[in-house]
Homo-oligomer: A and B are copies of this chain.
Amino acid sequence: MTEKIDKIRSGDIRTASRLIRNLEDGVLAARTEMKQLFTYTGKAHVVGITGSPGAGKSTLIDGLVEYFRKAGETVGVLAIDPTSPFTGGAILGDRIRMQRHAEDRDVFVRSLATRGALGGLAKATGDAIHVMDAMGKDIILVETVGTGQQEVDIINHSHTVIVVLIPGMGDEIQAIKAGIMEIADIFVVNKADRDGASKLRRELSVLLDMAPPNSFAGGWRPPIVMVENAFDPECFCKGMVDLTTAVAAHYKHMANHDLLGSRMRRKATVELREAIRTCVLEPILDRLICGGDMDAMIERMLKKEVDPYTLAEQIAGACLKEV
């Protein structure tokens, strides 16, 4: 056990990969390893990157990895792929992604698949970030596809959130609708050579102007960074330099304005809640499923003999101690 922990701390990719897979699969021994790793976490700068499919997030991350590596930092990349609820595996995932960094042992790339409907993704995300953190990665880039619940998860686990937009993806109301204005620490207008890029920048700027006075924590107004060509291994374009500067500046801002503590607290709260779900709810569900009680209950619901809340209250009565 201690050997495994040491291996992970020294950045061993095989051991770390196996632990993350076991965490995804809910293997109980993985939980013991996580307990021991916990002491060694909390050092990495976690950067969430979000935006619609087609916004060019993967290319942007590719560029960021290249940049941070040249600056001497070690990097973890966690890609959260929405996936088929039927197959239970990431559809594309690591195989076609990030081939270029495959030889660099200071870059560690993982995909997580969403499995089932009970919020398992959020748990696996937090755990996988902890593993990369314990591996000693300086920067951990977490990519989500889509909007909604996943965005809530990503901000809960990140210190800095980058929202990626591109021109011509529908009007600015879509951006507000997706609720991304409030979660962004940095905006990227990607593919900024396209028509409509400066219009999009102006619209974003107007929306930021309209935000209520206390919206910006410690006075941090999210910068809008224009990126034309995110990945260009030879010369770094102005946009990518601006972006990495903004990422570093945001971390410094948080540290100087006592904001890091509140983000850490939010992160810890989510982790504790997820752990409680894992340790309290899952054993109950497992027991119901294995004993066949779950199936019997569902049949009774389908016959309209009983409603789900009545069943759930009976289960609570049977499982919970009186207080």
The interface centre, meaning the residue of A121, A270, A313 with most chain B CB atoms within 10 A of its CB, is A313
B148 touches A311 (CB 8 A): no
Mark out the residues of chain A between 247 and 298 whose CB falls within 8 Å of any chain B CB in the assembled complex: 261, 264-265, 268-281, 283-285, 287-288, 294, 297-298
How far is the CB of A122 from the nearest CB of chain B, in Å?
6
This chain's copy number in the assembly: 2
Nearest-neighbor residue (CB-CB) of A176 within chain B: B91
Contact across chains for A284 and B294 when beta carbons are under 8 A apart: no
Q: Quick one: closest B residue to A83, CB to CB?
A: B179
> Known interface pairs A52-B52, A177-B92. Does A279 touch B39 (Cβ–Cβ under 8 Å)?
no
> Are the C-beta atoms of B272 and A281 separated by less than 8 Å?
no
Name the CB-closest residue of B to A181.
B84
The verdict on A26 contacting chain B, using a C-beta distance below 8 Å, is no
Do B81 and A179 touch (CB < 8 A)? yes
CB distance from A277 to the nearest CB of B (A): 6
Residues of B near A63 (CB, < 8 A) are none
Q: Are B85 and A313 in contact (CB under 8 A)?
A: no
Residues of B within 8 A of A316 (CB): 276, 279-280, 283
Q: Which residues of B contact A270 (CB under 8 A)?
A: 117
Q: What would 14 A/B residue contacts be, using CB atoms closer than 8 Å?
A: A35-B309, A38-B304, A52-B146, A53-B174, A55-B170, A85-B182, A145-B177, A146-B150, A168-B168, A265-B298, A275-B309, A276-B311, A279-B316, A280-B319
